[in-house]
Structure 1
Amino acid sequence: MKNFRTNRLTAERLNESHLADLVALHLDAEVSRYLGGVRTPKVTKTYLDTNMAHWDQHGFGLWTLRTKDGVFAGRAGLRHILVDDVDEIEILYALKREFWGQGFASEIAAAMTDVGLSHLKLPSLIGIVNVANGASRRALEKANYLLERSTIRKGEEVVIYRIRR
């Protein structure tokens, strides 16, 4: 699935042409607060390369998100991640601030869950959320993820949500 649509968003497989939008997103301190902090353009380029390679290796990964009128809204996707030495598939999303509080995170979380469980037939997905990020936690809960446990990742207290097929 290189592309798909939700009610309000169009998702396109991540590619080189998305670098400028990703750099702007990752330079926003509020957006990056729960994503490990602001990323330099060089770090974002490495992030882009890594995530494009994930697509090549696994057949899925990150998509960029645009509104129906073509405005860049953020990024979302599914990726392999090692959690306590277990290979998991993580759902992730980050939206530009002007799209916060309008249900876009819940909309894309539901769409990513459908892609992962129904289209890719993955057995389960996890969401890793900073314990203080109430908005992201609510988005996962609305998409029927269940709180599984708390842990520490990269020095931050996080909660892990899971949904199973």
Structure 2
Amino acid sequence: MTPELRSERLSLSPYVATDEADFVALFQDEAVGRWFGDGMQSEAEDRALFGRIFTLIYAEERFPVWAVRHEGRYVGHAEVKPSPETWLDGTEIVYGLARDAWGQGLGTELAELLTSYGHETLGLTEVHATVDAGNASSLSVLTRLGYVQVREIPEGDGRVTLHLVSRRPAPPVTPLRR
């Protein structure tokens, strides 16, 4: 089940059917959509992806997927999911914001909320992110939140994907008393 999450300015809630047009518009915006998964897809593919959120992700309770809202208005997409990459055995955050939400610190707030959810709610010692090396904004956000790069993955098209990790500090060790 996808829980509702809130930060100071953002609310994350499960998608509803009426979010489809906003979802498709977000993924069809080349400035945003190129950074998701394998990059830009057709509008029909994005509509099918939106449908799978309901028929697969929510129906089978696979992992949380959220519509991101600021002041009640749809501004983005977010997920915390098992990584589909075989080399990354862990859970990763995925997020994207509409262009008109850029430059307000919302990306940092969103990534921080997702990272906290992974560490605190899911109890993960590591939260992963995979980012295209050319996505300077997302890399800046994650670095600011303490993510560290652990790997570079060359892609078949010449691009490079960076694997970053947020590690929760180990709890302090209390010496045993005799």
**TM-score, normalised by the number of residues in structure 1:** 0.88
Q: Identify the match of residue 149 of structure 2 among 132, 147, 150.
A: 147
Give the alignment of 1:118-137 within 5 angstroms: 118-137=120-139
Aligned-partner SS, 2:104: coil
Distance in 2, matches of 1:2 and 1:39, equals 28
1:6 Cα deviation from its structure 2 partner: 1.1
Aligned partner letter, 2:6 = R
Identity of aligned residues (%): 26
CA separation of 1:89 and 1:57: change in aligned 2, threshold 3 A: farther
In structure 1, how many angstroms separate the alpha carbons of the residues matched to 2:45 and 2:128?
Answer: 25
Aligned to 2:19: 18
CA distance in 2, matches of 1:154, 1:65: 32
Tell me the distance in 2 between the aligned counterparts of 1:15 and 1:153. 34
Q: Where does residue 164 of structure 1 map in the other structure?
A: 167
Secondary structure at the aligned position of 2:20 is classed as helix
1:154 and 1:103 map into 2 onto residues whose CA distance is 33
Alpha-carbon separation, structure 2, partners of 1:141 and 1:55: 31
Q: Does 1:63 align with 2:57?
A: no
CA distance in 2, matches of 1:154, 1:47: 24
Instruction: Give me the whole-angstrom Cα distance separating, in 2, the residues matched to 1:15 and 1:79.
Output: 19
Deviation string, structure 1 residues 21-64 (Cα, Å, up to 9, x no partner): 11111111111232233332321133224444234445632111
- Render the CA deviation track for 1:78-125: whole Å, top value 9, x for unaligned: 112232444421101111101112211110000001111101112321
8 Å CA contact 1:9, 1:65 repeated in 2: yes
Aligned to 2:107: 105
Partner of 2:6: 5
SS in 1 for 2:45: helix
Q: Which runs of 5+ in 1 are unaligned?
A: none
Offset at residue 67 of structure 1 (A)? 1.0
AA of the residue aligned to 2:24: V
How many aligned residue pairs are there?
A: 164
Q: What secondary structure does 2:83 align onto?
A: strand
Structure 1 counterpart of 2:32, one-letter code? V
- 2:28 aligned partner, one-letter code: L
> Quick check: 2:3–2:64 contact (8 Å CA) kept in 1?
no
- The secondary structure found in structure 1 opposite 2:90 is strand
Q: Which has the higher strand share?
A: 1
User: Displacement, 1:76?
Assistant: 1.2
Please tell me the residue identity of whatever aligns with 1:8.
R
Structure 2 unmatched runs, 5+: 169-178
Query: Displacement of 1:131 after TM fit?
Result: 0.4
Query: The residue matched to 2:57 in structure 1 has which SS?
Result: helix
